[in-house]
Amino acid sequence: MLKPSILVSLLLCSVLLLSACKSQPSPPIAGDGESPTGATETVKINRLEQIKKNGKITVGTSADYPPYEFHREVDKKDTIVGFDIAIAEEIAKELGVTLELKEMKFEGLLAALEAGSIDFAISGMEPTEERKKNADFTKIYYKAIQTVSIRDEDKEKYKTIEDLKGKKVGAQKGTIQETIVKEQLPQSELKAMGKISDLILELKTKKVDALILEKPVATSYMKNKDFVFADVKLTAEDAGSAIAVRKNSPELVEAMNKTIDKLLADKSIYRFVAEANEWVEQK
């Protein structure tokens, strides 16, 4: 028979042993983002393979930017058309998947990309250093000149950046044009809006004095609207437009670049631009 002192000692040792076992952390499950040693691992995702497996690729666009993307009635149905859309269709075709379009405001495109609700964004977007923090980009597929658009009646009034001092200048929110107003026309009053059509109305109703727009976009809106290009010279043109995809998607970027190379080599992109401008003229 054990002595009471020995029994108490044995019970105490058992309690301590159980406590130590309970406090020992369990190893992480493989695939939960950590290695069995507890070190964090980056799980590599091949989004190109995922897209091909799903049989669908989703593109986000802001369809108020002719001739890049805009609405037209096709076979009595409201449809998003434009040369960006033609490029997106070619990408889907080359990948052998179906293209799904999602329309949203321009400033929401990169957020939608990060959230995974779209696979890529195409909307006349310049790959600025700031945007590259949140997305990867393809090579440039199109370059356009930035312009200052004004009412025809004001063409003798606004000829220099100085002439726009203290005046209201409009630009689409979240675009390079908004940055141009801030940086190159700092003494002008910026009016940023989400839709180009709303900015055109602001110019028409004299709520702004000028707009900063890409030349093909301005040209499409200026037809029969008494608008002209001002002689105001901006210091630089944009770097061009590229397609945005989610960060760390090298395979998808490479596949898209192959399609862009093909479309540039056979001059299909320029044909898409011409066709889109024809659509614009059919208002």
Q: Read off the pLDDT of residues 193-223 as tens digits, 9 standing for 90 and up.
A: 988 889 999 999 999 999 999 888 888 777 6
| 47-143+240-281 against 146-229: fold identical | yes
Question: Which range is least confidently modeled, 119-133, 171-185, 255-269?
Answer: 171-185
Architecture of domain 146-229: 3-Layer(aba) Sandwich (3.40)
Q: Which helix (H) or strand (E) holds 176?
A: helix 176-184
Q: pLDDT, tens digit, for every residue of 247-268?
A: 999 999 999 999 999 999 999 9
Gap between the Cα atoms of 81 and 62, Å rounded: 11
- Could you tell me which CATH class the domain 47-143+240-281 is placed in? alpha beta
Judged against a pLDDT cut of 70, whether residue 16 lies above it is answered with no
Place of tokens 């069995």: 36
> Which sequence spans correspond to the domains of the chain?
47-143+240-281, 146-229
Other CB atoms within a 10 A radius of the CB of residue 85 amount to 22
CB 137 within 8 A of CB 242: yes
Give percent of the chain above pLDDT 70.
Answer: 81
Report the pLDDT value the prediction gives residue 235, as an integer from 0 to 100: 81
pLDDT of residue 217: 83
Is 9's pLDDT higher than 70? no
If you compute the radius of gyration of the chain from its CA atoms, what whole number of angstroms results?
28
User: Is residue 32 over pLDDT 60?
Assistant: no
User: Dmax of the chain from CA atoms?
Assistant: 114
Q: Whose CA is closest to 272, among 75, 88, 146? A: 88
Give the pLDDT score at 8. 46
pLDDT at 3 over 60: no
